[in-house]
Amino acid sequence: MNKPLPTTDGAAPGSAILLVFGSGVLFTFLDSTAKYLVLSGFDSGFITWARFAVHAVLVVIFFRAWKAPARLRVHSLWRQSLRAVFLFATTILNFLALQTLQLAETVSIMFFGPMVITALAGPMLGEWAGWRRWLAVLVGFIGVLVITRPGMSAFGTGHVFALCAMLCNSLYSIMTRSLSASESAESLIFYSAIVPVVLLFPVVPLKGTMPTDALSWFLILSLGFYGGLGHWLLVRAYRKATATALAPYPYLQMVWMIAAGYLIFNQLPDRWTLVGAGIIVASGLYIVYREHVLRLRSSAGPNAEADELAKKL
């Protein structure tokens, strides 16, 4: 029997925090391995296909889909497919960005995603932000500009890929929120993997290069394990604590990314990347805090008019 979802924004239990830590480490392994493979000459489309193919196989085995196929039933196939396309685009664009950017740069730009979700949730979900949260979005965008420095020599195609990956991931997250009320968790996990496998299958004979050594085989097959298990740990974490309680901890992935960049690729982020990341993290945490305050006001007061006024502030 599943435990009920948390309903309060108290302190996160240690087990939930450890699960978030674990997912951050796994996502760092995912990006580090992908960067190593693309720099070794493997096509980004091929390793993206391998990442999702292994993920799909693991989902079928883990959920024993052959015994309970109804768990993978969908109510809106086209919306599930569109959501999967956004995840596929996020992954391949991120892998392309990793060809030229440091690990810390790509994850810093991805941290701007919650602010983009705040901006898009209004027109797409009817969840309009007040002026304080819009100001936080603007501050976060300044952080992105500090990292990318458009118009200067530091700005390149890698930054464009990373920004597009961040936007696609934001759209993927919004569609996940929209579909979670009508679709099962198993179907959301499965179709987010199987659709990219089908879309990228023509790439395999054209761009795919079979590994010639055991290490390359291991690294390619491990991509789906890191991605699938990382997302599963996050799901477990958010069953134990609220998003607000866990909000600060995913940002620790920056630490793992910096460590991996130095240990594997002998790269350290420059001061502009660190300053921009700090600005983005601060604005993201403020948005989380502001939404927490609004939830408390909404639950404490029955006055609908006052609640609507608070949301606009």
- Identify which of 84, 92, 100, 105 has the alpha carbon closest to the alpha carbon of residue 44: 92
Q: How confident is the model at residue 244 (pLDDT cuts 50, 70, 90)?
A: low
Can you read off the two tokens belonging to residue 216? 């390359």
Helix 157-179 to helix 103-110 angle (10° resolution) is: 40
Tokens standing for 272? 């502009």
126-129 long-range CB contacts below 8 Å, 24 or more apart?
A: 128/311, 128/312
Identify residue 18 by its one-letter amino acid code.
L
**Structural domain boundaries in the chain:** 14-312
- Does the structure show a pLDDT above 90 at 74? no
Percent of the chain scoring above 90 in pLDDT: 30
Rounded to whole angstroms, the Cα distance separating 90 from 167 reads 8
Confidence band (pLDDT; 50, 70, 90) for 113?
A: confident
Of residues 20 and 28, more confidently modeled: 28
pLDDT at 71: 74
Task: Evaluate whether 56 touches 193 at the Cβ level (below 8 Å).
Answer: yes
What is the model's pLDDT at position 311? Answer: 39
Q: Average pLDDT for residues 44-63, to the nearest whole number?
A: 89
Q: Which band of pLDDT confidence, cut at 50, 70 and 90, is reported for residue 6?
A: low
Mean pLDDT of the chain: 82
Question: Average pLDDT, stretch 245-260?
Answer: 82
Sorted by sequence, the CB contacts under 8 Å of residue 218 that are 6+ apart come out as none
Res 313: pLDDT: 40
Lookup result for tokens 């983005």: 280
